[in-house]
Amino acid sequence: MSTVAFVNVALRGHINPTLPVVAELVRRGHTVTYHTTAAFEPDVAAAGATVFRYPGDGPPLAGPPTPVTLLEQLARTALETLPSVLSDLRLARPDVVVHGAACPWGPVTAAELGVPAVSLFTTMAFGRRVPSPARASRTLLAEALTRPRSLLGYVRARLLLARRYRTRGLPLVDLVNTRQPLNLVFTSRAFQPEAGTFDRTYRFVGPSVGARPGDPSFPFDTLRPPVLYVSLGTVFDAGPSVLRAFATTLAPLGGTVVVATGGTDPAALGALPHDVVARRFVPQPELLERAALFVTHGGMNSVNEALYAGVPVLVVPQGADQPQVARRVTELGAGLTVRPEDATEAVVHTLARRLLTEPRFREAATALRAEQRRPGGHLRAADEIEGLLRRTGPHEKRED
């Protein structure tokens, strides 16, 4: 059996899809290590991995959700985390490094250790016909000129990375789109835009759902249909007034409205209608199996899980790749999109009513449910990683 090292960005949408893969590899007899932060250690350990913590509080990926600030943070984080990651893994001696496509210290780690690597796309795959939000472009350059400190921070970090480590193969700019000879994309070919333009190094394995600790305290037995679920993400948290407005405007349309408040204390929402349940976090996959509608920020993982359950979605995209995900949902007829600045109570009520009463949205989501499940998800991902291990065979690992 082999040792598989997961190196990833410590954000929920990046980690959650990998946990079923970790659990399956462990079930098959492999040793799995996983670098993450204290916040995610319980979930990663529950999947069966040996946890290595990033130094300090981990990768500081917070701040304005713009491509330039993200690129600077990723490059700086790579510098901060690589010494400890390499120290840990030189002792663990992995046979393969599995890293997020938006985790630039992952491919550098593989290059330093002299082992093969697999890139995981928890977003959709990016290419010539599906541009990455952080690709080199006039728009990115124009933004960079308005954020000179971020630009200089990025240039400095990249120069230091090149001086200290093997960075060949790391994109010069597009650090959220790091590719390898094997790239696993956690969605279906049906959902991926321009799927036919990607070569065979891209394997569309479908959503990876499951292997998260349950929440026995969640009141599933009190939910009355139709269940309407609201979650606007854990990165760009909506404030209490926004969450309260969504809850109250949806309450007349549903039997129960469930609101995941993320970083917002549910108590800050104040008094809510009796048929509204507000909690920081909810068991999302299980809840979606019972939901009639999902109001979401449009994170790829959340949309994948909704379509895996065949649930129509109302997308309120806020940044990063969310506008692209929202556009794809609308193109495929499985939901509707509203910009945050247009998401008044009246508009949200009208759009939600359409999604609940017009059969075409449920029909499109149901058709996508079958397509999302067909590739195999975490089982297929584990098969692909094992296939790479068989093809590469024993190899020399760097000792320096």
- Report pLDDT digits (tens) over 41-80: 999 999 999 999 998 765 555 555 578 888 899 999 999 9
Helix (H) or strand (E) holding 227: strand 227-231
Tokens of 212: 């998260």
Mean pLDDT is lowest, of 182-186, 241-245, 384-388, for 241-245
Is the pLDDT reported for residue 241 higher than 60?
yes
Radius of gyration of the chain (CA): 21
Is the pLDDT reported for residue 214 higher than 80?
no
Tokens of 11: 């954000």
Q: Which residues of 259-280 are buried (b: 16+ CB within 10 A; e: fewer)?
A: bbbbebebeebeebeebbbbbe
Average pLDDT over residues 279-290: 92
Q: Are 196 and 129 in contact (CB under 8 A)?
A: no
Tokens of 321: 């790749």
Residue 237's pLDDT is what?
A: 53
Band the pLDDT of 150: cuts 50, 70, 90.
confident
- What CA–CA distance (Å, rounded) separates 316 from 48? 35
More confident residue, 134 or 394: 134
Band the pLDDT of 148: cuts 50, 70, 90.
confident
Average pLDDT over residues 25-36: 98
The per-residue pLDDT of the chain, averaged, comes to 91
More confident residue, 34 or 281: 34
Band the pLDDT of 278: cuts 50, 70, 90.
very high
Residue 394's pLDDT is what?
A: 62
Residue 67's pLDDT is what?
A: 81
Band the pLDDT of 212: cuts 50, 70, 90.
low
Band the pLDDT of 141: cuts 50, 70, 90.
confident
Average pLDDT over residues 382-395: 89
* Bond into 216 cis (ω within 30): no
Task: Tell me what percent of the residues of the chain surpass a pLDDT of 90.
Answer: 74
Residue 58's pLDDT is what?
A: 55
Cα-Cα-Cα-Cα dihedral sign, residues 220, 222, 226, 229:
negative
Backbone angles phi, psi at 133, to 5 degrees: -60, -20
Residue 143's pLDDT is what?
A: 79
Is the pLDDT reported for residue 332 higher than 80?
yes
Half-sphere exposure of 79 (CA within 13 A, CB side): 17
Residue 341's pLDDT is what?
A: 87
Q: Where are the beta strands (DSSP E) in 54-182?
A: 96-100, 117-121
Residue 132's pLDDT is what?
A: 87
Torsion of CA 400, 55, 132, 5, to 10 degrees: 50
Smallest Cα–Cα separation from 22: which of 395, 294, 381?
381
What is the number of other CB atoms lying within 10 angstroms of the CB of residue 146? Answer: 10
Q: Are 72 and 91 in contact (CB under 8 A)?
A: no
Cα separations in angstroms, 381 against 55, 105, 309:
29, 21, 20
Band the pLDDT of 399: cuts 50, 70, 90.
low
The strands making up 202-204's β-sheet, listed across from edge to edge, are 50-53, 31-36, 3-7, 96-100, 117-121, 183-185, 202-204
Q: Give Cα 233 to chain centroid, integer Å.
A: 11
The predicted model scores a pTM of 0.89
Is the pLDDT reported for residue 134 higher than 90?
no
Which residues fall within 8 angstroms of residue 183, CB to CB, at 6 or more apart?
Answer: 101, 118, 119, 120, 121, 125, 201, 202, 203
- Domains within the chain, CATH numbers bracketed: 3-206+375-392 (3.40.50.2000), 220-373 (3.40.50.2000)
Residue 140's pLDDT is what?
A: 78
Is the pLDDT reported for residue 235 higher than 60?
no
